[in-house]
Amino acid sequence: MATLQALIFDVDGTLADTERDGHRVAFNQAFAEAGLDWVWSVELYGELLAVTGGKERIRYYLENFNTDFVLPENDVAFIADLHQSKTAHYTALLESGGIPLRPGVKRLLNEAREKCLRLAIATTTTPINVEALLVNTLGKESMEWFEVIAAGDIVPAKKPASDIYDYALQEMQLDADVCMAFEDSENGILSSRGAKLRTIIAINDYTKDHDFSGAALVLDHLGEPGQRFTVLSGDAYGADYVDIALIEKLMQG
């Protein structure tokens, strides 16, 4: 029987609702600063989220939603510069305390640490974005809580490819069977399940209609004592919030 040893977390949409009021806003600030008239509305951004990775998303936007724009010859550098500016705006936004953690995240991390479980991150976002979120919500020392922070371009193929989770598992020298992954999106669960990880989903506004086939549990959020989660799919064994005891029960499934 598999005994739980580690929790692996996605970042955007899972630890915090970063997309609509964080990444999207930062992209628009970078576009304006570069003198571009591109504006990513809340609705358009929902469509652009089909592609993970900021640089990949800019290219997807140009190829599908702004086909009149003529990319300069050095298109890779052009997109990379734009994305670098976006990252600066995004981290500044996090430093201003703009984005809190989602319900249950801090409590679950603390319980996992008390129980000496191992922690990791597997995300497509840029590494310094992860640092900015962790430091500004949990404090500087939280960077040490995660033995692996697998992020961004560290693997060539971003989610939905399983590479980022495969990388995290390999770095931790762990089998998928002794871990639980936490995700919020279809691309995320395709990636985690591709790495054979059991996965708990906490949806958000952008992902509520996604296909979460294969999830161990689908919830509106991880829940807190006094802030019960709603179970959208799966068996939560009568629990009100995700804790280690519930995760251990789900490990047997």
Q: Please state the closest distance from residue 77 (CB atom) to Mg ion, in A.
A: 27
DSSP strands (E only) in 55-131: 118-123
Does 23 interact with ligand XBP (rule: CB under 6 A)?
Answer: yes
Helix axes 105-114, 244-251, angle to 10 degrees: 80
Measured distance CA(61)–CA(180) in Å, rounded: 33
Q: Which residue is nearest to ligand XBP (CB)?
A: 54
Question: 183 forms bridges with which residues in the sheet?
Answer: 201
* DSSP code of residue 178: G
Q: Which stretch binds Mg ion (CB under 5 A): 7-15, 29-37, 95-103, 105-113?
A: 7-15
Of the pair 155, 217, the CB lying nearest ligand XBP is at: 155
Of the pair 10, 166, the CB lying nearest ligand XBP is at: 10
Whether omega before 225 lies within 30 degrees of 0, making that bond cis, reads no
Q: Please state the closest distance from residue 10 (CB atom) to ligand XBP, in A.
A: 5
Does 162 interact with ligand XBP (rule: CB under 6 A)?
Answer: no
Does 53 interact with ligand XBP (rule: CB under 6 A)?
Answer: yes
Does 89 interact with ligand XBP (rule: CB under 6 A)?
Answer: no
Contact status, residue 155 vs residue 165, Cβ threshold 8 Å: no
Please confirm, yes or no, whether 75 is among the known catalytic residues.
Answer: no
Of the pair 50, 71, the CB lying nearest ligand XBP is at: 50
Of the pair 142, 204, the CB lying nearest Mg ion is at: 204
Residue 25's SS3 state is helix
Handedness of CA 144, 89, 41, 191 (dihedral sign): negative
Of the pair 57, 198, the CB lying nearest ligand XBP is at: 57
- The site partner of 126 among ligand XBP, Mg ion, none (C-beta below 5 to 8 Å per kind) is ligand XBP
Task: Count Cβ neighbours within 10 Å for each residue of 116-126 and write b for 16 or more, e otherwise.
Answer: ebbbbbbbbbb
Residue 91's SS3 state is helix
- The site partner of 105 among ligand XBP, Mg ion, none (C-beta below 5 to 8 Å per kind) is none
Residue 111's SS3 state is helix
Binding-site residue total for Mg ion (CB under 5 A)?
Answer: 6
Total residue length of the chain = 253
Does 184 interact with Mg ion (rule: CB under 5 A)?
Answer: yes
Please confirm, yes or no, whether 10 is among the known catalytic residues.
Answer: yes
Does 136 interact with ligand XBP (rule: CB under 6 A)?
Answer: no
Does 188 interact with ligand XBP (rule: CB under 6 A)?
Answer: yes
* DSSP code of residue 143: G
Q: Which residues are catalytic?
A: 10, 12
Rule CB under 6 A: which residues touch ligand XBP?
10-13, 19, 23, 52-54, 87, 123-126, 129, 159, 185, 187-188
